Amino acid sequence: MTHPALPTPPSGLAVDALSAGYGREDVLRQLSIPALAAGEVTALLGPNGSGKSTLLKALAGLIRPREGRASLDGLDLTRLDHGERARHVVYLPQSLPAAVHLRVFESVLVAAKASDAMAQSVDLPAIDRLLERLGIAHLALHYLDALSGGQKQLVGLAQALIRHPRVLLLDEPLSALDLNYQFHVMRLLQQETREHGLISLIVLHDLNVALQHADRAVMIHEGALHGAGEPADVITPASLAAVYGVQARVEACSRGRRQVLVDGLEEHPG
């Protein structure tokens, strides 16, 4: 007797009709996002208050959705307990918790052990290599509570990457970094994402960084999806007017890279 083939579960990270918020107010309203593929960096875009941080918290299990689901290769993340979800998803918030009196190397070691409590040992040279790639190897023996905001952000990124998640959620990881480190970190994230097959979802406010470094872009507005696809297809004069309220051009520079040039504010009839 021939049995019908079971449907193949969708691959990647998908969001389906997700509603979530705080108290009685929904910030995300029936938000659906096409599946994000492994090995790609996706920029999460939108103005302040659009729901970007709320989405990351819902995916990380820090807030419970009221409706809908988020699935990873068909596995419903919203039904997993915190420990099980943490095996798949790592979240780095915009505001890091108060630094404890640990050295940088020790803090990354703690993160590595937390990711696999059953491991007999941790690959210590891997920590050294990661700190080197992030450009903070010279801080390995410095205490966290003596670091600058940008240095702490880089250490937080090391703590996230050493856990080898399947899904990496980063909320404005460039906010405290200078231009040199912004470029350095985005290039490293691209490399790590592709080499380890991560699904990296990164909140960015700099649209030019998204155009240059992201494989995909998701733009949300007032808790709903406005656009998803390649960055150049999502970041357009029309979307910038509708979502950000600005008159802008998206033009190629002398090297052919697209960049956003803002000319003014959208005028609303009043």
> Using CA atoms, how far apart are residues 167 and 204, in angstroms rounded to an integer?
17
Question: What does the pLDDT read at residue 251?
Answer: 96
Domain 13-230 fold? Rossmann fold (3.40.50)
> Using CA atoms, how far apart are residues 163 and 4, in angstroms rounded to an integer?
39
Residues of the chain with pLDDT under 70: 1-10, 99, 116-120, 268-270
Q: What is the pTM of this model?
A: 0.92
pLDDT tens digits for range 107-163: 999 999 887 655 557 889 999 999 999 999 999 999 999 999 899 999 999 999 999
Please give the structure tokens belonging to residue 123: 């690959």
Q: Are 188 and 133 in contact (CB under 8 A)?
A: yes
Domain positions in the chain: 13-230, 236-269
Query: How many other β-carbons are positioned within 10 Å of the β-carbon of residue 196?
Result: 15
